[in-house]
A and B are shown apart, each in its own frame.
Chain A
Amino acid sequence: MFGSVIRVLAAAVLLCSAGSVVAAADHKPITLEASQDLYKKHVVPFIAKHCASCHGTEKKPKADLVLATLDPDMKVSSSAGRWALVLDQVVMDEMPPDDKPRPTKAEVEAVVAWIKAEMKRSGKNLERREQVRNGNSVPHRLLFDPKSAAAFDAASRVRRLSPEIYEAFMRDVGKGVNGLGQPFSPVGYTTFADMGSPKIDEPITALLINNALAIVKKQTAFKIESGEFKKIGFVPREFEALIDPGNEPTDEQIHAAIRTQFEKVVKRKPTDEEAGRFLSLMRQNIKDAGRVTGVRYTLAAVFLLPEVVFRSEVGDGKPDALGRVRLAPRELAFALNYALSDRQPPSWLLDEAAKGKLDTNEGVAATVKRMLDDPKFTKPRILRFFREYFEYGKATEVFKDAKAFNGHDARTLIADADRLVEHVLEQDRQVLFELLTTRKAFVAYRTAEDTKKKRIEARKKFEEQKKKDPKKYANKTLKLPGRSIYESYGLDDFPDKQPTDLPGDQRAGLLTHPAWLVAFSKADENDVIHRGKWVRERLLGGVVPDVPITVDAQLPNEPHHTLRKRMRVTEETYCWQCHQYMNRVGYPFESYDHFGRFRKTETILDPEATAKNVDKKGKQLGPVMREVEANAKGGIEFVPDKSLEGDVDGAVAYVEKLAKSEYVEQVFIRHAFRYWMGRNESLGDAKSLQAIHNTYNESDGSMKALIVAMLTSDSFLYRVPSGN
Chain B
Amino acid sequence: MLLPRRDLLKGLTLGAGGTMLSPLVAQLQAKAVAPATPAPKRFVFVVESNGFTPQQAAPVDYKRKSRHQRPLGGASEMVDFALTDHKLPNALEPIAPWKDKVTIVQGLSGKVCGGGHSNNFQALGAFGGGRGNGGESTAILGPTIDGAIARQLPGIFPHIGLGISKRLENNIIYNVSAWDENKGLPTMCKPDNAYATLFGSVAGGQARQEFAAKNNLLDFLKDDIRKAQKGLSGQEREQFGAYLETFETLRNRQSRLNEIQDTLREKGPVVSDKYSSTVETDRLDAQFDLGAAALICGLTNVLTLSSAAGVRDFDICFTGLGLTKGKHHTGHGGSQNGMTWYEVSQMIRRFHFTLIARLAKKLEAVPEGDGNMLDNTLIVYLSDGAEGHHSRCWEWPMVMLGNVAGQLKTGRYIDYPAYGFKGHRTTGNLYTTFMKLAGSKSDATFGMQDPNLKDIDTHGPLYELFA
Residues of A within 8 A of B (CB): 4, 7-8, 11-12, 15, 20, 22-23, 26-27, 127, 155-160, 163, 178-179, 181-186, 188, 197, 199-207, 209-210, 214, 277, 281, 284-285, 288-290, 293-294, 296-298, 300-301, 304-307, 309-310, 312, 314, 396-397, 399, 401, 410-411, 522-524, 557, 721-723
Whether B217 lies near A300 (C-beta < 8 A) is yes
Distance between Cα atoms of A185 and B245 in the complex (Å): 19
Q: Which of A27, A181, A184, A399 has the most CB of B within 10 A?
A: A399
**Which chain B residues (18-73) contact chain A, with CB distance < 8 Å?**
none
Having A288-B212, A397-B130, one finds 5 other A-B pairs with CB under 8 Å, namely: A11-B242, A204-B246, A214-B172, A293-B210, A301-B217
Interface of chain B, main secondary structure = helix
CB neighbours (8 Å) of A524 from chain B are 451
Distance between Cα atoms of A410 and B220 in the complex (Å): 49
For residue B191, CB closer than 8 A to chain A, the reply is: no
Whether A306 contacts B224 in the complex (CB less than 8 A), given A158-B239, A203-B179, comes out as yes
Whether B128 lies near A399 (C-beta < 8 A) is yes
Whether A722 lies near B240 (C-beta < 8 A) is no
- Across chains A and B, the number of contacting residue pairs, with CB separation under 8 Å, is 192
Distance between Cα atoms of A155 and B234 in the complex (Å): 9
Whether A181 lies near B243 (C-beta < 8 A) is no
26 sampled A-B residue pairs with Cβ under 8 A = A7-B245, A8-B241, A8-B242, A12-B237, A12-B238, A15-B226, A157-B239, A179-B170, A179-B172, A182-B174, A184-B182, A199-B239, A203-B183, A207-B186, A285-B213, A288-B216, A289-B209, A289-B212, A290-B209, A301-B217, A306-B243, A307-B228, A314-B236, A397-B133, A524-B451, A722-B234
CB neighbours (8 Å) of B237 from chain A are 12, 23, 27, 722
CB neighbours (8 Å) of B246 from chain A are 200-202, 204-206
- 0 or 1 for each of B161-186: is its CB under 8 Å from A? (1 = yes): 00000010111111000011111111
For residue B15, CB closer than 8 A to chain A, the reply is: no
Whether A210 lies near B236 (C-beta < 8 A) is no
Distance between Cα atoms of A424 and B169 in the complex (Å): 46
**Which chain B residues (214-250) contact chain A, with CB distance < 8 Å?**
214-217, 220-221, 224-226, 228-250
Residues of B within 8 A of A (CB): 112, 128-131, 133, 158, 167, 169-174, 179-186, 206, 209-210, 212-217, 220-221, 224-226, 228-250, 451-452, 454-455
Residue of A nearest to B205 (CB): A290
Distance between Cα atoms of A493 and B47 in the complex (Å): 46
Q: A185 is contacted by which of B171, B181, B232 (Cβ under 8 Å)? A: B181
Shortest distance between the CB of A623 and any CB in chain B (Å): 14
Whether B452 lies near A210 (C-beta < 8 A) is no
CB neighbours (8 Å) of B249 from chain A are 202
CB neighbours (8 Å) of B239 from chain A are 157-160, 197, 199-200, 310
Q: Which of A202, A410, A523 has the most CB of B within 10 A?
A: A202
Whether B184 lies near A293 (C-beta < 8 A) is no
Closest 5 CB pairs of A and B: A722-B234, A185-B182, A23-B233, A289-B213, A199-B242
Whether B232 lies near A314 (C-beta < 8 A) is yes
Residue of A nearest to B249 (CB): A202
Shortest distance between the CB of A598 and any CB in chain B (Å): 24
Whether B209 lies near A304 (C-beta < 8 A) is no
Residue of A nearest to B221 (CB): A304
Whether A306 contacts B228 in the complex (CB less than 8 A), given A202-B246, A722-B236, comes out as yes
Shortest distance between the CB of A4 and any CB in chain B (Å): 8
Whether A178 lies near B250 (C-beta < 8 A) is no
CB neighbours (8 Å) of B183 from chain A are 183, 185, 203-204
Residue of A nearest to B190 (CB): A179
CB neighbours (8 Å) of B451 from chain A are 399, 522-524
CB neighbours (8 Å) of B212 from chain A are 285, 288-289
Residue of A nearest to B455 (CB): A557
Residue of A nearest to B239 (CB): A158
CB neighbours (8 Å) of A210 from chain B are 172, 186
Residue of B nearest to A310 (CB): B239
Whether B171 lies near A179 (C-beta < 8 A) is yes
Distance between Cα atoms of A300 and B213 in the complex (Å): 11
Whether B174 lies near A181 (C-beta < 8 A) is yes
Whether A158 lies near B235 (C-beta < 8 A) is yes
CB neighbours (8 Å) of A285 from chain B are 212-213, 216-217
Q: A178 is contacted by which of B128, B169, B228 (Cβ under 8 Å)? A: B169
Shortest distance between the CB of B343 and any CB in chain A (Å): 34
Distance between Cα atoms of A397 and B245 in the complex (Å): 36
CB neighbours (8 Å) of A200 from chain B are 239, 242-243, 246
Whether B217 lies near A293 (C-beta < 8 A) is no
Q: Which of A20, A293, A300 has the most CB of B within 10 A?
A: A293
